[in-house]
Homo-oligomer: A and B are copies of this chain.
Amino acid sequence: MAKNSLGREIPAQWRGRTLDPYLDPWNKKPEVLRATRPLVRRSPGDSKLLPSLRAALEKCELRDGMNISTHHHLRNGDLLLNMLVKEMDAMGLRDMGIASSSVHAVHAEIIPYIRKGVITRIETGVNGLIGEMVSRGELNCSVIVRSHGGRARSLVTGEVEVDAAFIAAPCCDITGNMNGVHGPSACGSLGYAYTDARYAKKVIAVTDNLVRYPASPISISQSDVDYVVQIESLGDPRKIVSTTTRITRDPAGLLIAKYAAEVIEASGLLKDGFSFQTGAGGTSLAVADNIRRKMAAGQIKGSFGCGGITGYFVDMLEQGYFETLFDVQCFDLNAVDSMRRNAGHREISADLYASPFNRGSVVNMLDCVILGATEVDVDFNVNVNTESSGYLLHNTGGHCDTAAGAKLAIVVAPSIRGRLPIVRNAVTTVTTPGETVDVIVTERGICIADKHVDLKKELLRRNLPVKDIRQFHEEITQITGIPKPVEFDDEIVALIEYRDGSIIDVVRRVRE
């Protein structure tokens, strides 16, 4: 057991894997060749159509111990992963790994199959109940939490081998050309599935909307697809995308957003060519709204918005505040519709978006990202994976990727949530290292990393409530009290992998 550079205890090995402790955000370099896979020849007239998921699983010659993947572009409306797990059980497969891009609440259906030993590994992190049960020691399932960029990296380096990738295809032809913008399960970007299409040993397009050749546009092409399966329905459209994402109406959230926008303005980045990412949360959208007003007032033309895309960013594209949207995931129907019709709204892969191990990802060009947090600490480390309960409840998403890439990474959060202070002496779990976080904005104060001397001066000049983070921590905890620490057993139930593959933290079993 050695400590990584953030003081987190990382074992030398975990469940057969040798661990590389996190050192810093920048210097770990790829030491392997790009992963490969067998080449395949298809002659004219060969059919890729298979009658069922079962037939596809059989064609892939899956054996105990292999990995499959699915992708979360259908989010909580996804039915595919559950269907596959049930089929694998019926086939008698055991000790399988799920190397999906994310696992959502809807996938709690696979819990009985984890208990049964059908699934023993989740290579991507989990949202919700499965994570909570893993944290409680109720499920014997290894979990490795990876960011979007880190997941792409793990496939490209071959650290994670996907034996069969099942890609939910809202629009697909008989050769496997597919897109996500047409059909009853339209979800927009298929960005998370691109890397699997290039690196999985077998690639299966699963569709509820088989169209005449050629599907158009082509997001993932026939040259990467082995088989095509038509099923009744990919998912529940109501849960695939929300009809709209909304700006918060909470006064504290609006104040946070106002402060965050002032920080961006004060940083000097808000000028022609400005690039920006926010999530889909109400406060994040309120920041975007403030930024749009400032851009309008200053007649500023930005360059690109990126990440998961909302209707709010679509409006900014259409109103000329951005020239381009880079979309790895559509968060609402407005974004899906925009991607269908607007050439400036561009689908990108998770690799191009955020991988640290390519010749340059989009996050490296970001001026500013607005991030959330379940906790931050006095060293600016951020936790989004566990809550103060200690339970593993959330995936990393692009959090640590964008923080590392952007010139200005701003965390927005209420100072107190559920009677607990947002700032801790040390976060329960480190998702994103403090070296890559620049500013923390709450409704009670703004904390700035020491290296930003000029920005701090400028914010003080603007009479904004700049506070030293340690003093701010004391100020809040005088209100909330110091929370009772969660007690953990020694047993490690999950790894938190940094985007470069080093281990930034572990999640231990909660003692109850």
Contact = CB atoms under 8 A, between A and B. Distances in A.
Interface in A351-368: 351-352, 355-365
A155 B284 CA distance: 45
A37 B39 CA distance: 16
Nearest to A44: B364
Nearest to A227: B359
Interface residues on A, range: 35 or more
Contact of A404 (B44, B176, B273, B404): B44
Interface stretch (A27-35, A392-400, A460-468): A27-35
A41 interface: yes
B357 A40 contact: yes
Contacts of A237: none
Interface in A153-181: 156-157, 175-176
B39 A34 contact: yes
Contacts of A364: 42-46, 175
Contact of A175 (B225, B360, B404): B360
Contact of A359 (B32, B223, B365, B405): B223
B218 A346 contact: yes
A46 B360 contact: yes
A504 B70 CA distance: 43
Interface stretch (A52-60, A209-217, A487-495): A209-217
A233 interface: no
A323 interface: yes
B36 A33 contact: yes
Contacts of A297: none
A50 to B, nearest CB: 14
Contact of A214 (B32, B36, B44, B304): B304
Contacts of A365: 44, 175, 213-214
A193 to B, nearest CB: 15
A42 B303 contact: no
Q: Max chain B CB contacts within 10 Å: which of A41, A43, A304, A344?
A: A41
Interface in A212-261: 212-214, 216-218, 221-226
A96 interface: no
Interface in A110-165: 156-157
A509 interface: no
A330 interface: no
Given A29-B41, A33-B38, A44-B407, A360 B214 contact: no
Nearest to A226: B359
A213 B304 CA distance: 8
A208 to B, nearest CB: 21
B39 A30 contact: yes
B44 A40 contact: no
A216 B34 contact: no
A357 B41 contact: yes
A213 to B, nearest CB: 6
Contacts of A203: 359
A324 interface: yes
A357 B453 CA distance: 57
A304 B348 CA distance: 25
A8 interface: no
Contacts of A32: 39
A23 to B, nearest CB: 14
A214 B40 CA distance: 35
Interface string A404-423: 11110000000000000000
A214 B175 contact: no
Given A217-B343, A303-B212, A304-B214, A359 B34 contact: no
A43 B48 CA distance: 41
Contacts of A222: 352, 359-362
Contacts of A356: 41
Contacts of A216: 323-324, 343-344, 346
Given A30-B39, A176-B360, A216-B323, 5 more contacts: A30-B40, A43-B364, A203-B359, A216-B346, A224-B358
Interface of A: 26, 28-30, 32-46, 48, 156-157, 175-176, 203, 212-214, 216-218, 221-226, 273, 303-304, 323-324, 326, 343-344, 346, 348, 351-352, 355-365, 404-407
16 contacts: A28-B41, A30-B39, A34-B38, A41-B356, A44-B363, A44-B365, A175-B360, A175-B364, A213-B365, A217-B343, A217-B346, A221-B348, A221-B352, A222-B362, A223-B358, A224-B359
User: What 10 pairs between A and B have smallest CB-CB spacing?
Assistant: A30-B39, A223-B358, A42-B360, A44-B364, A33-B36, A222-B360, A34-B36, A223-B352, A39-B357, A36-B36
